[in-house]
Amino acid sequence: MIEHRILGVMNGRGDDEVIEIVSCGDGPEDCIQLRNRRWGSGIGWYTQKSVDIPASQIGRLIHALEKVKRPASRQASESRDSRGVILPFRSFGT
């Protein structure tokens, strides 16, 4: 039987939605599961959709998320640096 352990819970778009990060298993076939859960009146919390991320892909996901996490101003300056330097021309009287 696969053991599921909740690693974290994030708020969703409203009070009736959460995102759960769940560890699935402790073996070579481990995965992380992202679950979009909703609140249903009379039902309670239910999983609307989920995505399984295999252990072999977790490092790549973390790397991609690190790029998103950086402040926008830092990303913009890095982007400018990679394009080169723009030198303004002096204009002489009109």
Residue 44: CATH number of its domain:
3.10.450
Flag whether 87 is in a domain. Answer: no
Q: pLDDT by residue (tens digit) across 41-90?
A: 999 999 999 999 998 998 998 898 888 877 665 655 555 555 666 666 66
Under DSSP, is residue 4 helix (H, G, I), strand (E, B) or coil? strand
pLDDT, residue 4, reads: 87
User: Of 50, 55, 48, whose CA–CA distance to 29 is shortest?
Assistant: 55
Flag whether 88 is in a domain. Answer: no
Confirm if 49 and 34 have CB atoms less than 8 A apart.
no
pTM above 0.75, yes or no: no
Q: What is the DSSP letter of 6?
A: E
Range of the domain at 50: 4-79
Flag whether 50 is in a domain. Answer: yes
Distances (CA, A) of 39 to 6, 21, 44, 49, 52: 18, 17, 5, 13, 21
